[in-house]
A and B are shown apart, each in its own frame.
Chain A
Amino acid sequence: MPLKMNVVFFGEARDLSGLKSVGITIEKARCTAADFFDAVNVVTGGKLVARVFVKGKGAWNLAKGYKLMVNKCILDDVDEARISFKNNDEIGILPPFSGG
């Protein structure tokens, strides 16, 4: 059964993608971080490459300082082995924090 998720972009990620949010569909029963990054790269036409997504060990990963927020919970790091997104998850892409 495909998984549907909503991706929300903040700050620089929103400006680069030109999107506030977008729905993605993963045609798998389980969605890993790598699957998620691949799908976001496709829907954003590669506009996030280099600033938000970087290639590491063959798979896409987040650039330094970027974080994910899953259903309002901010993840300190993206552990590929442990992350598995679920149907209807809302996933925020958060640039490095920079308060005033």
Chain B
Amino acid sequence: MIKETAPSFSELFEQFKQSIRGHEGGAIVSFTGIVRADPRSPGTTSVQTTGIEIEAIEGISSAALQDIATGIEQRPGIIKVTIVHLTGTFKLGEPMVHVFVCAAHRSEAFKALEDCVNLYKQKTPLWKKELYSDGSTKWISH
């Protein structure tokens, strides 16, 4: 799902845990993407990232995230997947995205988590613009 504001990680984790039906789950793993300080140009330090803007398409981006989560949930041993991606402007260290995976065993949970992250970066219409200390900006593509 796409949100402009999200509860804290611990609240999201509790919501995720409460949403799991049954007791087949043996592992919950999560990923949180946060804003990192990067130089505008590799090898330099004078102009640093001060924040990030995230843009999505209303309805479309959320549906794409849900498709990814639903697809991963079809795998053997995977019980539940939730992807929460935020939009708006974020400062250094602030979270932009949370992914939770519950699986029967940790190995399949970690694999599913990594695939989730790779898939949402490739398949979801989301755009990230870095904001720099000198006032300049740059759209980032992976």
| Residue A96 interfacial (CB < 8 Å) | yes
From A11, A72, A98, residue with most partner B Cβ within 10 Å = A98
Contact B124 A72 (CB under 8 A): no
Check B57–A95 contact: CB distance below 8 A. Answer: no
A-B contact count (CB 8 A): 61
Interface size, chain B (Cβ < 8 Å): 25
Instruction: Please name the residue on chain A nearest to B137 by beta carbon.
Output: A15
What residues on A are CB-neighbors of B140 within 8 Å? 98
| Contact between chains at A97 and B55 (CB < 8 Å) | no
A66–B123 CA distance with the chains assembled, in angstroms: 12
Task: Determine whether the beta carbon of B60 is less than 8 Å from that of A11.
Answer: no
Q: Interface size (A, Cβ < 8 Å)?
A: 16
Contacts of A100 in B (CB 8 A): 33, 52, 54, 85-86, 96-97, 126, 128
A residues less than 8 Å from B121 (CB atoms): 97-99
Chain B contacts of A97 at CB under 8 A? 121-127, 141-142
Tell me whether B141 and A96 are in contact (CB under 8 A).
yes
For chain B residues 92-121, which have a beta carbon within 8 Å of chain A? 96-97, 120-121
A residues with CB within 8 A of B? 10-12, 15, 65, 69, 72, 74, 92, 94-100
